[in-house]
Amino acid sequence: MTSGLRLIAAAVLMGTALAAVGHAAAQPYPSRPVRIIVPFPAGGPTDVQSRILAEKLSQRWQQQVIVDDRPGGNTIIGAVAVAKAVPDGYTLLMAIDSTLVMNQYLYATLPYDPLKDFAPITRVVRGTSILATDTATGPATIKELVERARAKPGTLSFGAGTITTQLAGEMFKQQLGLNIITVPFKGSAPSVQALLAHDVSFIVDGLAPSVPHIKSGAFRALAITGGHHVAALPGVPTLAEAADLPGFDIATWQGLMAPAGTPAAAIAILHDELGRVLALPEVTDKLATFGLTADPSKTPDEFAGFIRAEAERWAKVIPTAGIHLD
């Protein structure tokens, strides 16, 4: 082949390649598999919830949506993986409240910036925690619990299985000026077991792990930490009502994030599609079995504002409680 023909052939190949790139760029989102990184082990509530949503999105898009579990470091490992990912909408993070809010106050240095490194898409679900005691020896009401704590400062203790439930207990103590010992556990299971063994006076923990013991009569639910009553526990007041703490509303929540710089068009599609999926009755019913309620944001900007407001709230509570994780 002559040099002229080689140049022509090269030009044709280059044109073909550029056309392919342009065609790929013009394809509607998503045009290939989407990966949702979950910063928890497989089988946990966040993993299961993410798989429920991934299945529905896959059906709607006729495109595979993969759940990729990256546990470790109080969600830091998964968060960093997404923060460093290509911002094209194909790598997402199912973040929890501590990922985007609490971690920045719990660690002296954090390898990601929760506000600058991610693009909010939508809040996905909210859950609530409960304050529960054992039925045999524990107080029957929040009022009685507070009276015991004030009568004998430093003698009561509470267990918490997550950083969020621990902070809910800390805020309860701070707002009422109570001297109660905090006992953190690595998960809800050991926290629940501690109350069964009478090793702590009460627990602040997720709804799902405690409900079986409440139904059996072993535990008594004294209050809900969130601002709304829970259908699974009729008659149980909110902590705001039971302890006369107006505005006390601590709910766990999860939200979908993309790397900063992800195209606005992809963010909009993801937001709208998640909203449709979260409105499906079969999805809300499955989420309810984990004590979760679908809670999509109206817009990505609303979700961003919610994250900033949560960060401002916890900026005071965590330093006062003196909690550090490094």
Domain spans of the chain? 33-126+251-321, 128-242
Half-sphere exposure of 284 (CA within 13 A, CB side): 10
pLDDT of residue 37: 98
Q: Which CATH superfamily is domain 33-126+251-321 in?
A: Bordetella uptake gene, domain 1 (3.40.190.150)
Query: DSSP string covering 105-140, please?
Result: HH-SS-SS-TTTSEEEEEEEEEEEEEEEEETTTS-S
End-to-end alpha carbon distance in the chain: 66
pLDDT at position 181 over 90: yes
Whether residue 3 has pLDDT greater than 70? no
Domain 128-242 = CATH 3.40.190.10: yes
Helices (H), the chain: 3-26, 45-61, 76-83, 97, 103-106, 142-151, 163-176, 188-196, 207-216, 239-242, 264-278, 281-288, 300-321
Q: Which pLDDT band, with edges at 50, 70 and 90, does 41 fall under?
A: confident
Which pLDDT score, from 0 to 100, does residue 24 have? 41
Judge whether 33-126+251-321 and 128-242 match in fold: yes
Inter-residue contact 163 to 248 (CB < 8 Å): no
Amino acid at 68: D
Of 91-105, 163-177, 258-272, least confident by mean pLDDT is 163-177
pLDDT for residue 207: 83
Judged against a pLDDT cut of 70, whether residue 12 lies above it is answered with no
**What pLDDT score does 26 carry?**
55
pLDDT at 23: 42
